[in-house]
Amino acid sequence: MDSHPSHGDRSAACDELFKALSDGTRRALLEYLVRQGEQSVHALTAISAVSQPMVSRHLAKLKRARLVTARRAGRETYYSARVKGLAPVVQWMAIYGALWSQRFTALEELADPA
C-alpha cells in the first residue's frame, strides 16, 4: 500500500472515526450535541437509554476520535460536537463515492451496450 506518512495518518484517523461512529448510541449522542449544542454528561444521560457510566464511556470514545470536545466546570463535564472532526470521513466518502459511481456506470454500459 501507500507508504506516505500522511496517508497512514489519514487512514488511522478514518479507522478511529468509523469505530466511534459504528455504535448507535454514540451516533445519537453526537447528533444530539450537533443539534442542541454543548451539554453536560448529566443532561446527555437524561436523554439516553443508558447509564451515566456508559454515556461517559461513549463520550470518551467520541473524544478520542476527535468528534467532541470536553470542558470541566466544577463537578460537571460539558461536551460539544466538533463538526470538523468528520472531515476525514467526508473526504474518504467523496473519493470512494466517485470511484464506485464510475464503476457502476461502467457496469451499466457493459450490461446494456445499446
Q: Where are the alpha helices (DSSP H) in the chain?
A: 5-21, 24-36, 41-47, 52-64, 87-111
Domain membership of residue 12 as a residue range: 5-111
| Count of beta carbons in the 10 Å neighbourhood of residue 51 | 10
- The CATH number of the domain holding residue 64 is 1.10.10.10
- Predicted local confidence at residue 3, as pLDDT: 42
Burial of 89 (0-12, 13-18, 19+ CB in 10 A): middle
Largest CA distance in the chain: 70
| 81 neighbors 30 (Cβ within 8 angstroms) | yes
pLDDT (tens digit per residue) in 28-81: 999 999 999 999 999 999 999 899 999 999 999 999 999 999 999 999 999 999
Return the higher-pLDDT residue of 94 and 29.
29
- Predicted local confidence at residue 6, as pLDDT: 55
Q: Please state the domain count of the chain.
A: 1
Look up the pTM and report it.
0.73
- Residue 4: pLDDT band (50, 70, 90) is very low
